[in-house]
Amino acid sequence: MKALILSGGKGTRLRPLTYTGAKQLVPVANKPILWYGIEGIVAAGITDIGIIISPETGEEVKAKTGNGDRFGANITYILQEQPAGLAHAVKIAQPFLGDSPFIMYLGDNLIQSELNLFLDRFKDKQTDALILLRQVPNPTAFGVAQVDENGRVLHLVEKPKVPPSNLALVGIYFFANTIHDAIANIQPSARGELEITDAIQYLISQQKQVEACQLEGWWLDTGKKDDLLEANRIILDTTCLTASVLGEVDEKSQVIGRVQIGAGTKLVNCTVRGPVTIGSDCYLENCFVGPYSSIGNNVNLIDVEIDHSVILQGAKVIEIHQRIVDSVIGQRVQLVAAPQRPKALRFMIGDDSQIELT
């Protein structure tokens, strides 16, 4: 059994952050989204992993993620020159996949459930494909499945105007090697891409066995800012279960609840209310950090109030006298000086920006 993780694409929904980096490397609770998928796959017993990368961000993915040693895996990187569809990614990965069954995992997806629950069913039933479904309020934004009472998939359609159900395809799939023949027999869609939904529909039309499991826990597609903040909130709730202070907290500071503070970080006259994670080698002075905030390594905050926000490594936020809420602030951003105003501030700031509020 192998795994194929898709970490290409251009991340247009998360711009400006993704003008300069891969969306799959944006951190949730101070860990790249991509790594959660790798860890889940390894936990299910799969260690031979291929990662699809793009020309724009592939080198960054390789540099940060490495050869897989840190995860107990062996990672092979596969370059997809153009974002020509999910099925195209499988097609170019065929030399790596060979005849092995495999799991395909979209690198910007997060699920609560353990993968081995579905992997065991896939192996036991020996199906050609097993897809994961989740009920959603807006099925027109997703690939949608129609299934019978036994979980057998009858029909798939991509972003339908009139959905046959409210069951959206989650970005995690289990395939036998028959998927390669299906991909060879489909044509590009109207948007010029080889769609994985078309390949699965081909399996169905050929009377192959395609089944579905419905997710009971949460599923997050972190393609937009609000989705990213929600993922950060949920991950902090589920992983930041105890307090851990490795840095220095002065006597004027208060650290309340589930707060994790990295080594080399210093807090001076600050209040931090968890769940919060603060990376290493940060400096915070005269700050309030509210729940569901994540602060990356080497961040400098002075005279700042933040709540429900993600601040990436190397950022500096200085003397912003309005509370910053529901914000994502990119790597190495410099945000300084603002007059007092009655309203809160909301930001989506890409890497290396410098913003002065006057």
Which is higher by pLDDT, 337 or 304? 304
Which is higher by pLDDT, 109 or 18? 109
Cα distances (Å, whole numbers) of residue 52 to 24, 154, 264, 344: 11, 29, 35, 40
224: DSSP letter = S
SS3 content of the chain, % helix, strand, coil (to 5): 25, 35, 40
Percentage of the residues of the chain whose pLDDT score is greater than 70: 90
Percentage of the residues of the chain whose pLDDT score is greater than 90: 66
Which is higher by pLDDT, 337 or 342? 337
User: What's the CATH code, domain 2-236?
Assistant: 3.90.550.10
User: pLDDT tens, 268-294?
Assistant: 999 999 999 999 999 999 999 999 999
pLDDT, average across residues 20-33: 84
**pLDDT score at 143:** 86
Q: How many CB atoms lie within 10 A of CB 50?
A: 24
pLDDT, average across residues 222-250: 90
Q: How many CB atoms lie within 10 A of CB 277?
A: 25
What's the pTM value of the predicted model, to 2 decimals? Answer: 0.87
Helices within the chain (DSSP H only): 33-43, 58-65, 86-92, 94-97, 116-125, 178-184, 196-205, 225-239
| Predicted confidence (pLDDT) at residue 358 exceeds the cutoff of 70 | no
**pLDDT score at 15:** 46
**pLDDT score at 20:** 52
Q: The tokens of 126 are what?
A: 């020996």
User: pLDDT tens, 46-93?
Assistant: 999 999 999 988 999 999 999 999 999 999 999 999 889 999 999 999
What string of DSSP letters covers 170-195? EEEEEE-THHHHHHHT----TTS---
Is 341 buried (19+), middle (13-18) or exposed (0-12) by CB count in 10 A? Answer: exposed
| Predicted confidence (pLDDT) at residue 19 exceeds the cutoff of 70 | no
Domain ranges of the chain: 2-236, 242-356
| Predicted confidence (pLDDT) at residue 131 exceeds the cutoff of 90 | yes
Q: How many CB atoms lie within 10 A of CB 98?
A: 11
**pLDDT score at 8:** 79
Helix (H, G, I), strand (E, B) or coil at 310: strand
Least confident of 91-105, 109-123, 289-303: 109-123
| Predicted confidence (pLDDT) at residue 145 exceeds the cutoff of 50 | yes
Helix (H, G, I), strand (E, B) or coil at 200: helix
**pLDDT score at 225:** 81
pLDDT, average across residues 155-181: 92
Residue type, 136: V
User: What's the CATH code, domain 242-356?
Assistant: 2.160.10.10
**pLDDT score at 261:** 97
CA 171, distance to chain mean position in Å, is 11
pLDDT, average across residues 208-234: 87
| Predicted confidence (pLDDT) at residue 198 exceeds the cutoff of 60 | yes
Q: Are 169 and 133 in contact (CB under 8 A)?
A: yes
- Looking only at the bridges linking them, the beta strands covering 153-158 and 143-147 are antiparallel
pLDDT, average across residues 158-177: 91
Radius of gyration of the CA atoms of the chain, in A: 22
pLDDT, average across residues 247-252: 96
